[in-house]
């Protein structure tokens, strides 16, 4: 157990920083439930899919290519179904929506895939790559699948505490192409703030007492996400990781808690960390900003 897990202990849910996805799911019978997890071929998405499937759920696992999704799905026990979903390519996301719609209702959509801290400005369809991949790609996916979400279905947006590194304005609507300035962590923070705001606005749009939408911070975990990080930082991560970071099993616990645990079935518009409701930044609670982001995202998506 890491030092932080020892110090933090467990929260009111009985789970905490040190809990694993398997511990959260223990005792849950998910037979008949259907989940979609983006980024199923790596890190937290893979572990989330593995654990949900191990409890009897059917999991649609998406990856950038059908080959990657199929390989990941085939490597876990239980019922899984692969789908291609390249979030940077609207035609791929729309094809995924069409394919998933045919498979029947979903109990949760877990928007987990993401990229972090690209060292140089990179554009996708004219927009900064992290904003486009992490937010716009998932916006197309979730809005496309709303009708396939069960009456009590859940949308889970995997944000990050890094949403607090977003620019002062929160979302720089006048700089979504990064041309007025680019910072790797600011851009990542903006995209993760967008994930949290998307959940907030979706929760507002859902009828009370039915479908729910929440965002979460999984913790800090050594995964492939750090591939663009400065190599010195990667060495430090590797050295101190076992003491201070979460394992992948622990990092996926909040995904499973928010997507599948009965305790969270009625929670909506919240931000979770360590399997408990947490307080995000003031910007992530700004309902006006959330509304504006939704409108701007619709405008962007219409032109793609
Ligand atoms: N690890 C952490 O410390 C941490 C902390 C806070 C939040 N998070 C969030 O947790 C989520 C999962 O990250 P992770 O740590 O598990 O990282 P990871 O191992 O790198 O997994 C990320 C997943 O996203 C997929 N992905 C990336 N770009 C994509 C695209 N354009 N289209 C479709 N899929 C794409 C990756 O596919 P490929 O393998 O093909 O690239 C991979 O399956 C991310 O949203 C991240 O922001 C992680």
Geometric angle at alpha carbon 244, from 241 and 245, rounded to 5°: 60
| 45 Cβ closer than 6 Å to some ligand 1 atom | yes
Atom of ligand 1 nearest to the CA of 39: 43
Atom of ligand 1 nearest to the CA of 161: 6
Nearest CA to ligand 1 atom 17: 225
- Token pair, residue 86, equals 């390249």
- Token pair, residue 149, equals 């979400």
CA dist 131 and 153 (Å) reads 25
Residue owning tokens 């937290």: 44
- Token pair, residue 51, equals 């654990």
Q: Which long-range contacts (CB under 8 A, 24 or more apart) does 1-9 make?
A: 2/242, 2/243, 2/244, 2/245, 2/246, 2/247, 3/243, 3/244, 4/244, 5/246, 5/250, 8/274
Where residue 175 falls (left for φ over 0; alpha for ψ -120 to 50; beta otherwise) is alpha
| 90 Cβ closer than 6 Å to some ligand 1 atom | no
Output the CA 150–ligand 1 centroid distance in Å. 26
CA dist 225 and 270 (Å) reads 24
pTM score: 0.96
Cα Rg, the chain, nearest whole Å: 18
The yes-or-no answer on residue 182 being catalytic is yes
Pairing of strands 34-38, 106-111: parallel
Name the CATH code of domain 3-302 (choices 3.20.20.100, 3.40.50.720, 3.40.50.300, 3.30.390.50). 3.40.50.720
> pLDDT per position in the chain (304 positions), as tens?
677 777 888 888 999 999 999 999 999 999 999 999 999 999 999 999 999 999 999 999 999 999 999 999 999 999 999 999 999 999 999 999 999 999 999 999 999 999 999 999 999 999 999 999 999 999 999 999 999 999 999 999 999 999 999 999 999 999 999 999 999 999 999 999 999 999 999 999 998 889 999 999 999 998 988 777 767 777 777 777 777 789 999 999 999 999 999 999 999 999 999 999 999 999 999 999 999 999 999 999 999 9
Query: Closest Cα partner for 223 from 41, 62, 81?
Result: 41
Which is catalytic among the residues 182, 188, 257, 271?
182
pLDDT at 226: 78
- CA 234 centroid distance within chain: 22
pLDDT at 1: 63
């Amino acid at each position: 157990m890491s030092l932080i897990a020892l110090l933090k202990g467990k929260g009111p849910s009985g789970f905490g920083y040190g809990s694993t996805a398997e511990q959260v799911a223990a005792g849950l019978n998910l037979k008949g439930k259907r989940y979609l997890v983006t980024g199923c071929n790596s890190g937290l998405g893979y572990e989330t899919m593995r654990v949900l499937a191990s409890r009897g759920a059917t999991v649609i696992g998406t990856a950038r290519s059908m080959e990657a999704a199929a390989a990941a799905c085939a490597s876990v026990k239980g019922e899984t179904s692969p789908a291609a979903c390249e979030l940077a390519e609207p035609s791929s996301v729309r094809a995924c929506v069409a394919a998933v719609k045919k498979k029947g209702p979903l109990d949760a959509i877990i928007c987990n895939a993401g990229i972090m801290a690209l060292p140089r400005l990179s554009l996708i369809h004219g927009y900064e790559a992290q904003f486009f991949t992490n937010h716009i790609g998932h916006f197309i996916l979730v809005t496309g699948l709303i009708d396939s979400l069960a009456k009590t279905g859940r949308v889970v947006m995997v944000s990050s505490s890094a949403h607090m590194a977003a620019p002062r304005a929160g979302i720089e609507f006048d700089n979504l192409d990064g041309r007025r300035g680019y910072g790797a962590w600011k851009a990542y923070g903006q995209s993760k703030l967008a994930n949290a705001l998307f959940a907030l606005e979706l929760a507002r749009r859902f009828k009370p007492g039915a479908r729910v939408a929440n965002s979460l911070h999984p913790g800090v975990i050594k995964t492939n996400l750090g591939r663009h990080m400065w190599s010195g930082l990667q060495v430090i991560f590797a050295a101190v990781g076992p003491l201070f970071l979460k394992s992948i099993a622990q990092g996926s616990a909040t995904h499973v808690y928010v997507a599948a645990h009965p305790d969270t079935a009625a929670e909506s518009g919240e931000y979770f960390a360590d399997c408990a409701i947490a307080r995000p930044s003031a910007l992530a609670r700004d309902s006006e900003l959330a509304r504006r982001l939704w409108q701007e995202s619709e405008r962007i998506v219409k032109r793609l």
